[in-house]
Amino acid sequence: MSEADPYLWLEDVSGEAALAWVRERNAETVDALTGAPGFKVLEQEMREVLDDDGRIPHVVRRGGHLYNFWQDADHVRGLWRRTTLEEYRTERPHWEVLLDLDALAGAEDEKWAWAGSRVLAPEHRRALVLLSRDGADACVVREFDLTTLEFVEDGFTLPEAKTRIGWIDDDSVWLGTDFGPGSMSSSGYPLQVRRWRRGTPPQDAELVYEGRPSDLSASAWHDDTPGFARDFVHRQIDFWNQELFLLPEDPAAPPVRIDVPDDASASVHREWLTVSVKSPWLGHPAGSLLAFELDPFLAGERRAEVLFTPDERTALAGYSWTRHHLILGTRADVSSAMELLTPGPDGWSRAPLPGVPPLSTASVTCTDPDVGDEYFHLVTGFLQPSTLHRGTAGESGTERVKQGPALFDTAGLCVRQHFATSADGTRVPYFVVGPEDRPGPGPTLLYGYGGFEVSMVPQYSAVTGRAWLARGGTYVVAGIRGGREYGPAWHRAALGADRVRAYEDFAAVARDLIARDITTPAQLGIEGGSNGGLLMGAMLTREPELFGAVVAHVPLLDMLRFHKLLAGASWIAEYGDPDDPADRPHLERISPYHRVAADGPAYPPLLLLTSTRDDRVHPGHARKMAARLREFGHPVLFHEHLGGGHAGATDHRQTAFNEALVHTFLWERLTPRA
């Protein structure tokens, strides 16, 4: 059907005709929503919570400083800055500004957005700064001097590309970028790993490793741990399969493959190799976390220390090393727990890390594993503002260093967890946040994702609290298959031709909400982005009678052409290959763009949001869907920011406007005025 697609012209991202169509649709949406009662007030409230200076400034430890990137009302594009631990402990720390992106954008007349940094250890005197034009994944690279706070003239500098770069030493870096034909994968990521030396052209950088043309990407990094310095190459075969290599000291010797299953995730800390397995291996079930002594492992020994074994309710959430310990995060029915594991001569010991309330999420945000046992960890929940703790692994107790502000009134609200039964009998968890004693159904917003091992967990959102809960709405988060709420099997249950399981799970949650008298179809709105936007399109075209309104952000919607658009080929391992006769039938069945019908049940109103600068999920998905729905007379509004990238916005002003559009659209349609 795609060969006869009448809307292919809308895939021309910056084409004159396509952008003229975008401007017309934007004007219609602005006219329909921004004049609604309370829109401007809501937009201002969203800006207030996003800019609130009481937000926790999350940090990364680099030597004696804690680094942070910060945006607020006075710094729209943001500040890269640092402080000391002593200052950070205070209510209002003094920050040393390293780079002012607003000033840089003004001086260079470019809409720079922060894309991260790579700081050279252990002296932390130099950094590689990554800058994105208006939120795109592609970025430019510039070397920055952290002593003079200036860009380094004739330093490591690269033009815009989807670059992978990292320090080796003062005068060399690992580099993957666009070197011309054959150097990038069909998904747009580097396939070559080169050692680039200071003062030489990047084109002359030494080629050390090259992935196959069918691979997703290749990259390298230097482990600068004192006493354990070494270099690794990572080959990403597809989204879910990979290989890790250790580069020998002899440059003429071939890379040494670390022999773990391709679908496992492996990492090295000092003398330890940790392996998170997604399939049964060495007698251990999928979802286990194993540890090996690296040198014996490379010599062929396979004696594993079992750090975690899953059960039907509990899954690995993640782990982080400090110098001498490993902090293990798990989830039981999507609620967090944490443990401290310590290797010793008689095996590993373990002890719980307390302070994680029920129905909440805890995660480690920062460690400095080369230096010491300091860690920062964050605890959050739907109605509990985030709290940042600092501790030292191996010592009792933690200090609360930051407490996020309470930005909406939680009086009379409660959090409950329920389980819906999907079409095949699977028990699907979901959280309900809303009025404790509402008599009868009310406006409800259901959020989901269902893919790429992304878990939907409890977390504090001042935007949702102020824009939805404070107005009397109920908010629901569904942990459907395709995520990792219950480990690798939960994800694999919705891969490829089984994608419909995620959609059946989401529909089951919707029906359970209705059966519990929490809401009605007319009062039930749904929202999702990216792969969650595909979920929204599936619900719109498969179960339209269940919902009163639908919102999809930066969505995938044309599942017969997604692999030809920008980074889309990288997702074949998740969805299937439209060019493979074995996969095409199920992709056609789940493709919302191709399921749109002129007759049949009426579709609920849809709001589509995307970005011209999204170079991950092509804006053509949302554009074409809007055009087809309009052609068939279905209710749809469309808005496309010219900037914003895959996040849909690069600053708080854009985000506040988007959120005001979304919540005005939902509230107007789920609570119609008499």
- Which residues are known to be catalytic? 530, 646
What's the angle, vertex CA 127, arms to CA 122 and CA 130, rounded to 5?
A: 140
Cα dihedral value 148, 151, 153, 159, nearest 10 = 170
Contact 317, 486 (CB under 8 A): no
How far is CA 163 from its chain centroid? 19
Determine the distance from the C-alpha atom of residue 404 to the mean position of all C-alpha atoms in its chain, rounded to a whole number: 21
Tokens (6 digits) for 421: 């039964």
| Tokens 């849909």 found at | 648
110 C-beta neighbours (distance < 10 Å), count:
14
Q: How far apart are CA 373 and CA 369, in angstroms?
A: 7
Secondary structure in 3-state letters for 447-470: ECCCCCCCCCCCCCCHHHHHHCHH
How many CB atoms within 10 Å of residue 209? 21
Q: Measured over all CA atoms, what is the biggest interatomic distance in the chain, rounded to whole angstroms?
A: 78
Least Cα distance to 192 among 171, 215, 223 occurs for 215
Taking a C-beta distance cutoff of 8 angstroms, is the pair 80, 127 a contact? no
Asked if residue 672 has a cis previous peptide bond (ω within 30° of 0), the answer is no
Element (H, E) at 22: helix 16-33
Q: By the 8 A CB rule, do 563 and 569 touch?
A: yes
Structure tokens that stand for 546 in this block: 């269940």
Contact 629, 621 (CB under 8 A): no
Which string of b and e fits 504-543 if b means at least 16 CB within 10 Å?
Answer: bbbbbbbbbbbeeebbbbebbbbbbbbbbbbbbbbbbbbb
397 token code pair: 């107790």
Q: Are 136 and 645 in contact, with CB atoms under 8 Å apart?
A: yes
The residue among 531, 313, 334, 528 whose CA lies nearest residue 431 is 334
Cβ atoms of 338 and 362 within 8 Å: the answer is yes
Separation between Cα atoms, residue 244 and residue 219, nearest integer Å = 10
Enumerate the β-bridge partners of residue 206: 195
Q: Which residues contact 540 (CB under 8 A, 6 or more apart)?
A: 547, 550, 592, 603, 604, 606
Residues 527 and 658 sit within 8 Å (Cβ to Cβ)? no
Task: Identify the DSSP state of 580.
Answer: S
Burial class (CB in 10 A: 0-12, 13-18, 19+), 160: middle
CA distance 220 to 234: 6
CA atoms of 134 and 642, how far apart (whole Å): 9
